[in-house]
Chain A
Amino acid sequence: MSPEREATDKIDVEHLHAIARGDEKAFASLYDTYNSILLGLLLRILNSRVEAEDVLQEVFLQVWQRASTFDEARGRPFTWLVTLTRSRAIDRLRSSNARERTALAAALDAPESTSDDDASDEVVRSEQSELVHRALDAIPEEQRRTLLLAYFEGLTQTEIAERLKQPLGTVKTRMRAGMIKLRELLGKRRGGSARMNL
């Protein structure tokens, strides 16, 4: 892992420990660091600004209440935050009217690839984002598609198989292969050119 990222992680860990002790300043700092990336993620999943901001609020309230359960031995603060955010978003997606979009998209069999296109049109990207985009570009399209459907649309393996009209076994294999390849690519970059990462 790059020294920069280690340093960021260290600050985040300190913030989370302070939040667990009820430190509002540390909480505000953590919010300032991550609000935009988390809201971007929520918007991508929920397609509604109102819903996304609402869930962002829920997420940070949970951070406040659960900071004491964070254990740096088990992973990075970034991963903890993103995992929490995504899971709240998927809960909301499954229970709310954000489902309308999915229902409509399915009804019309609308192309699902807009996300990749949107992302690749982005002009300014962080180095971290550059890294992940390059890694995603390096894995086969059919693997990438399954990963994105699961992560951003909240579909399960069976739902993905139905959506793509592919056998369940094939879908599982593609997802597994995609994730393992992605880990390898992200890992290699980390070791190979540390300056690429933040």
Chain B
Amino acid sequence: MNHEDYKEMLPLDALGALDETAAQEELRAHISACPECRAELGEMHEVAAMLAHTVAPVKPSAHLRARIIEHIKTADAADGDSPASNVLESRQTDEDAGNVVASRPTDEESDGDSNVVSFEKARDSRRHIMLSRAAFTSGAIAASLIIVALASALFVVWTNKKRTEGELASLSGRVSRTEEELARERQMLARERETTELLSAPDARMTALAGTESAPAAHATIAYDRRTGRALLLASGLPPAPAGKAYQLWFIAGGRPLPGRVFTTDNAGRATLRDQAPPEGLDTKIFAVTLEPAQGTREPTGAKYLVGNVS
């Protein structure tokens, strides 16, 4: 392939639409060697990113900001690779150094107190040496050396202890994050398996639900396995439920509506709901969605938003 061939791939690369092939690796190599293609790819990325402006902005939940900021602080403590953690480490070193110079581990634990005493003594004796060196006997020198050695040893023990505590905290932070991730992955896998089982079940049927007068733009699809009663509803175009209200799914069997679960939509009016038809509702003929009090009801009371007949 030549320069022109690679250049033709750039718009598709910026859209992430190239297939995973060996050609992609060659393209990467070419881009890193070709300033013209690099500039072109940069422009194509700018164009692609502008597509984000076609989507309506959506405000995240209020707690997310605090959670993210909390996380970057934990990330600092736990992740040794981040530049920010380097800052923290150097801060720690400064503090240690300060302790050595000023000998003031004032508000530290009890072994810190002995540190102060020893350092004061060491400093006093050093001043003494300066003032009247001649007066010093070899015994006094030996004694002060021992004090200095003890002080240093204590200091080393104290720093090691601090460091180990820090490492322990960062490790346990990392473990709990990994556990969280694992739990999330497991949950996701379980849901995916559930969906695959449902979609591949021999008795599974797809039913389309159309929006009523209350929501003409709404539509939904239900995958329903009449043998097990498992249902997966995917709805879109629903208006946001007013405060205190939520949508509720109904399984209508033998002319009787049986309550399903309640749900709300995201800001784009979409919702995904997994549900289980009650045993007497396995032979559902009609699915419906109504607007109800947020906790749900036993009998439908609100307006119908979506309806679909099982074909």
Contact = CB atoms under 8 A, between A and B. Distances in A.
Do they bind each other? yes
B52 A37 contact: yes
Nearest to A59: B68
B208 A108 contact: yes
A47 B51 CA distance: 17
A20 B72 CA distance: 12
Interface in B137-184: none
Contact of B65 (A28, A41, A68): A28
A104 B270 contact: no
B5 to A, nearest CB: 12
Contact of A129 (B54, B59, B192, B232): B54
B282 interface: no
Interface residues of A, number: 84
Interface residues of B, number: 64
A49 B266 contact: yes
A100 B192 contact: yes
Contacts of A152: 51
A104 B199 CA distance: 9
B67 to A, nearest CB: 7
Interface stretch (B9-17, B285-293, B299-307): B9-17
B223 A75 contact: no
A132 B49 contact: no
Contacts of A147: 15, 51
B199 A103 contact: yes
Contacts of B48: 83, 86, 151, 179
Interface string B68-109: 110111011001011110010000000000000000000000
Contacts of A113: none
Contacts of B52: 37-38, 40-41, 82, 85-86
B256 interface: no
Contacts of A86: 16, 48-49, 52
A56 B267 contact: no
Contact of A57 (B20, B71, B223): B71
Interface in B215-270: 221, 223, 232, 234, 236-237, 266-268, 270
A182 B47 contact: yes
Interface string A79-94: 1001101110010000
Q: Which 3 pairs, one residue from A and one from B, show the smallest C-beta to C-beta distance? A: A36-B57, A179-B11, A22-B84
21 contacts: A39-B58, A40-B57, A48-B266, A53-B64, A57-B68, A61-B72, A65-B81, A68-B83, A74-B42, A85-B52, A100-B232, A100-B272, A104-B223, A108-B206, A126-B53, A129-B54, A150-B16, A151-B48, A156-B16, A175-B17, A179-B47
